[in-house]
Amino acid sequence: MSNQAGNISAATDKSERSTAAHDHDYYTDPVSGVAVIGASIRGSSHEAKNTPCQDAYKIASGSVAGVPWLAVAVADGHGAAPHDRSHIGSTNACKVACDLLGDAARDRVLLGSNLEDFLRNQFRREMVQKWEAACKASPAQADEPAPFNLRRYGTTLSALLVIEQTVYCCRVGDSDLVRQASDEPVDPVFKDSEELTRTTTHSLASSNVHDHFDVAHFPSKSLTALFLSTDGLRNSFEDEQAFHEFLAAIPSQAQKFGFEPVAGIIPKSLEYATTHGSGDDITLLAMLFRSANHKAHATVKPDESTPEVPTKPSTPSASSTTTNRES
């Protein structure tokens, strides 16, 4: 990402996930006031098999001529044996996505480019091209005498850019992107294709990936929160309603207890989810907007109770816990 015209800069990069059992951070953008909680948990099934966490996420922000922007991405590397380098693929996908969105923010402010057109056309082309190039350039590939096989790096991707009171988002695969407006229930931005099941998903490594980019944009002014998560979280709940109740608890608890205490307890909730639910890696990015973040820097007094974020998931049936992805 350029650090020249417009003062574009990455604020936080938490993309490496392959060694720690769980990792998290939190970040409040000093200009927009949007607070972001990021957490990534190595799945209990991955721990049992001694395989790496195949999820990744990245948070990036900056400003162009005084206009702030915030970009985030999550990726879920496929778990089946043919995708043995998907943890590298997911990390590369998040970096490439945030770099492209940062460049798009610059072009929007300085050149007046149309971001919706960018997502539907240029982004999907460059995303696939640059992601493949990054995978080919990975140290693991350099030591591999066999021909390059992109399928080994297969991953999903969800990413969004917040700029000028508008959210621009895209998705390949089955990760969840959910929004909550003031006094409204949480609402999925995208619906999963009927052709997908719990064990199949669209992939950046698919030959027809360009046909499977979901794209949307909507105003951010009335938003309370946005959530990006990999499917290991959703699959830890009995139904969509329970999953949405889990997400809705985050901004409400942030209002009550403050941002930092809630950010600190979310990884424990995700760890419970993978242990008693899907068994899969779980990554969650929760973006809290000003309307839900007025106590972002509050501290919990000694006589206040500890936040209970969020409600513990219900254990799904055994048939819903597989993490293998063959697509």
Q: Using one digit for the tens of pLDDT, what is the confidence trace for 243-261?
A: 999 999 999 898 888 888 8
pLDDT for 147 equals 85
Q: Which token pair is 199?
A: 């064990």
pLDDT for 68 equals 93
Q: Which residue has 């946005």 as its token pair?
A: 226
Q: Is residue 15 part of a domain?
A: no
CA distance 204 to 56: 14
Please check whether residue 116 is in contact with residue 217, taking contact to mean a CB–CB distance below 8 angstroms. yes
Q: Is residue 1 part of a domain?
A: no
pLDDT for 311 equals 44
Range of the domain at 51: 22-320
The 10s digit of each residue's pLDDT in 68-80 is: 999 999 999 998 8
Q: Is residue 8 part of a domain?
A: no
CATH number at residue 107: 3.60.40.10
Q: Which residue has 């799945």 as its token pair?
A: 43
Q: Is residue 13 part of a domain?
A: no
DSSP string, 109-163: HHH---HHHHIIIIIHHHHHHHHHHHHHTSHHHHT--SPP-GGGG-B-EEEEEEE
Q: Is 172 helix (H, G, I), strand (E, B) or coil?
A: strand
Q: Is residue 127 part of a domain?
A: yes
Q: Is residue 11 part of a domain?
A: no
The tally of domains found in the chain comes to 1
Peptide linkage before 313 cis (omega within 30 of 0): no
Indicate the angle between helix axes 259-276 and 240-257, nearest 10 degrees. 150
pLDDT for 28 equals 83
Q: What is the CA radius of gyration of the chain?
A: 19
Angle at 255 between CA 277 and CA 223, to 5 degrees: 80
Q: What is the DSSP letter of 6?
A: T
pLDDT for 15 equals 36
pLDDT for 198 equals 58
Q: Is residue 289 part of a domain?
A: yes
pLDDT for 182 equals 83
- Residues of the chain whose pLDDT is less than 50? 1-22, 292-294, 296-306, 309-312, 315-327
Strands 166-172 and 157-163: antiparallel
Q: Is residue 325 part of a domain?
A: no
Q: Which token pair is 276?
A: 């008693």
